Structure 1
Amino acid sequence: MARRLELTILSDNTVEKRKLLAEHGLSIYFEYNEQQYLFDTGQGEVLVSNALKSGIDLKKIDTVFLSHGHDDHTGGLKKLLEINPEIRVFAHSDVFQAKYKKVDAGLEFIGINLAKSDISNFSAAETTIAAAAGVYNTGEIPAPRASYLNERYVVANEEGEKIDPFDDDTSIYIETESGIVILLGCSHKGVKNIIDEIRGAVGDKKIAAVFGGMHLKRAGRKEINGLIEYFKELDLDLLVPMHCTGRQAAVLFKEALGDVVQLASVGDKFEL
């Protein structure tokens, strides 16, 4: 069976196409081996409208993957479940934790607006799991905490608050004839940590493309330059920095890696 992959960006921070809308969020629709999938749902303000205007029927989607529990990736799930109540939801169980961001006024809630009990078809992705032939969820990424922890993000419950360990930060990877295609949510566990874990899982298979958020808006040049050298080592065919990657990092990637980097926005389509 030919492993052909088509992706369409339904939610991102920028848009250049008429009649489509942008938001601070991420959602990528993809078709693979005659099945339809969604990776993240954005904040929920644009998902349904952009899908309709892109000719995508959300009722036909088989599975939605949630990369982590922040509302700019899970906010559209409630509307999606209203449209497609039996859709299979793949996520780490910690996606339902109460998540907050530290701001000047205190703590701002940025977690999911649903409980696990609101989902009738939930698949826990604590470890690497195949959602279908050729489509894999990484499960929890083991990584040294010093390499990724960010004190701005916390989880809270009746016992108090703590820095979010982001155990729910998962990604997916897809086998294509060109090689492995990786979809990143926000990369809270660290871009290198995530990709290296996937490389270990796929062995000598080529990493052909990386799409998604890399959480580099506050990153310094040293960190960005380190990633540039890392991507050169990977010898990617395609790199699509999105959402929380930040404009500075995305432009520096483009300057260093040339045509390998595509500065995409809502409505853009890719075929691999």
Structure 2
Amino acid sequence: MRLYTLVEEHAADPAFGCEHGLSFYLETEREHLLFDLGQSELFLRNAHALGLDIARVDRAFLSHGHYDHGGGLSAFLRENDHAPVYVHSRAFEPHFSRKPEGVRPIGLDPELEHHPRLVPTGDVYEVSPNLLLFSDVTGTECQSEGGKNLLERVGDTYVPDAFAHEQSLIVYDKGKCILFTGCAHRGVVNLVQRAAEHAGRMPDVVVGGMHLYSPSQKKSEPDELIRAVGERLGKTGARYLTGHCTGEHAYAVLHDMLGDQIGYLPAGSQVDL
């Protein structure tokens, strides 16, 4: 398998653009997959710079209902005329962020909710024998405090988002088990554990953000929490490839703890899994 990072906050080379968001392109033995779409059409431009053709994507997945992961959805539907897009059934509900200047919407374009190529998913959704989506995470260890500034609306009241709309993807290929987490709002420790329960084994590689930095508040989680996450991840034996909402400080702390067990994925990077 070869993994390409199409969108992230940093770029591997000046030839690639960067933005707040995330998008990955994965070539497996069987098909080409796209996981998340960034916040704009940037994923298309970076794919072109990497020599990748978005029209060849067989399936696309949206991890959750925030603009920085699904803002490129309309561009994808335009550039690719056949691939289904798997989206949790609650992803198009309104979502918000509490910033110092007030609450603002951060959801998806509601006009796309009923597009015929969108496939609604639920708690557990088997796409194929090699692809499993799940959102049934119940663990509560090492969760980000910054996540409390991400909101949903109940009636006229804003409450912390429970992230029922957040799904993760397990990919099986050539004997390997790869987990894609998106932002891991419910805690990367809990997502990895739930993935292991679904797969019957620990993932070999975990790809995605860990939400140890709050962009809305511009602050990292406390070192105590970051180190608690690192201690638990180190025991799994999995390799971690991360970026986006993990944050630079948290990544530095985790790298000090985990060494080569963790790596960073700027836009334009390529990794063989």
Answer yes or no: same fold by TM over 0.5. Answer: yes
Residue 129 of structure 1 corresponds to 125
Preserved contact between residue 39 and residue 67 of structure 2 (Cα < 8 Å): yes
Residue 239 of structure 1 corresponds to 240
Residue 9 of structure 2 corresponds to 13
Residue 223 of structure 1 corresponds to 225
Name stretches of at least 5 consecutive residues in structure 2 with no aligned partner: 214-219
Deviations 1:174-227, CA, capped at 9 Å, x for gaps: 123453211111111111111111111111x34211111000013111111111
CA drift of 1:107 comes to 1.3
Residue 204 of structure 2 corresponds to 208
2-structure distance, mates of 1:258, 1:171:
25
Distance 1:255-1:148 versus aligned 2 partners, 3 A rule: closer
Deviations 1:54-74, CA, capped at 9 Å, x for gaps: 111111112111111110000
Deviations 1:213-260, CA, capped at 9 Å, x for gaps: 000013111111111111221112x21121000011111121122122
1-structure distance, mates of 2:230, 2:251:
10
Tell me the SS of whatever aligns to 2:39. coil
Preserved contact between residue 51 and residue 58 of structure 1 (Cα < 8 Å): yes
Preserved contact between residue 85 and residue 120 of structure 1 (Cα < 8 Å): no
Instruction: Kindly provide the amino acid, as one letter, of the partner of residue 187 in structure 2.
Output: G
CA drift of 1:14 comes to 0.6
Tell me the SS of whatever aligns to 2:26. strand
Pair 1:142-2:138 in alignment: yes
The counterpart of 1:100, out of the listed 96, 112, 131, is: 96
Pair 1:193-2:190 in alignment: yes
Deviations 1:20-52, CA, capped at 9 Å, x for gaps: 111110000011123111000011141110011
Residue 148 of structure 2 corresponds to 151
2-structure distance, mates of 1:111, 1:220:
27
Deviations 1:145-170, CA, capped at 9 Å, x for gaps: 99567331112376443321110111
1-structure distance, mates of 2:256, 2:160:
35
CA drift of 1:117 comes to 4.2
Residue 217 of structure 2 corresponds to none
Preserved contact between residue 98 and residue 109 of structure 1 (Cα < 8 Å): yes
2-structure distance, mates of 1:103, 1:51:
32
Residue 47 of structure 1 corresponds to 43
Preserved contact between residue 18 and residue 267 of structure 2 (Cα < 8 Å): yes
2-structure distance, mates of 1:54, 1:121:
26
Distance 1:146-1:167 versus aligned 2 partners, 3 A rule: farther
Preserved contact between residue 187 and residue 215 of structure 1 (Cα < 8 Å): yes
1-structure distance, mates of 2:101, 2:57:
40
CA drift of 1:265 comes to 0.8
Instruction: Kindly provide the amino acid, as one letter, of the partner of residue 68 in structure 2.
Output: D
Preserved contact between residue 12 and residue 269 of structure 2 (Cα < 8 Å): no
Map 1:170-189 to 2 at 5 A: 170-177=167-174, 179-189=176-186
Tell me the SS of whatever aligns to 1:91. strand
2-structure distance, mates of 1:33, 1:172:
17
1-structure distance, mates of 2:144, 2:10:
26
CA drift of 1:103 comes to 1.7
Give the TM-score taking structure 2 as reference length.
0.90
CA RMSD of aligned residues (A): 2.0
Tell me the SS of whatever aligns to 2:18. coil
